[in-house]
Amino acid sequence: MIHAVYPGSFDPVTFGHLDIIQRGAKIFDKVTVAVLINPNKNPLFTVEERVELIREAIKGIPHVEVDSFHGLLIDYMRLKQANTIIKGLRAVSDFEYELQMASINRKLDDDIETFFMMTNNTYSYLSSSIVKEVARHHGSVSDLVPQFVEEALKEKFNTKK
């Protein structure tokens, strides 16, 4: 069985993330979307909120689960008995960073592979940071995230006024 992990901050989950999840679910026997708990970042949504938003977004996608982790991805991979890391690539700049990450992960455990997926061209410009910036200024993000994520963003930014 090929168990893949799709790690990230997902702050918030976007249609670009969901595209990678849906496509990954067609390729791998099991996909775990793993929300990284990074104490060095100041996320808009709590880990619990991000996990819940992703769970809502993946309803109906078979053999996909959501979890969270902290520390090294490789340690999490071993804990979950997963053997493949999924990474979405939007641009050359993503590739340079992700190649570095894949190389160190490979050095830490050469039994774990990294699987790069090119983003759908529709979402090649899309990032969680862009979504938050548009939403912060009350722009429409309806074509970037699911409706319930848009509502969660509005709630966050209306309470932060």
- Please give the annotated binding residues for ATP, written as ranges: 9-10, 17, 88-90, 98, 123-129
Residues in the chain: 161
The helix (run of H) or strand (run of E) holding residue 150 is helix 147-159
Q: Which residues are annotated as a binding site for substrate?
A: 9, 41, 73, 87
Binding residues: 9-10, 17, 41, 73, 87-90, 98, 123-129
How does DSSP classify residue 91?
Answer: S
Other C-beta atoms within 10 Å of 111: how many? 9
Q: Which residues are catalytic?
A: 17, 41, 90, 128
Q: Is the separation of the CB atoms in 67 and 52 below 8 Å?
A: no
CA distances from 82 to 9, 30, 46 (A): 19, 9, 25
Contact 88, 124 (CB under 8 A): no
| Packing angle, helices 147-159 and 128-136, rounded to 10 | 50
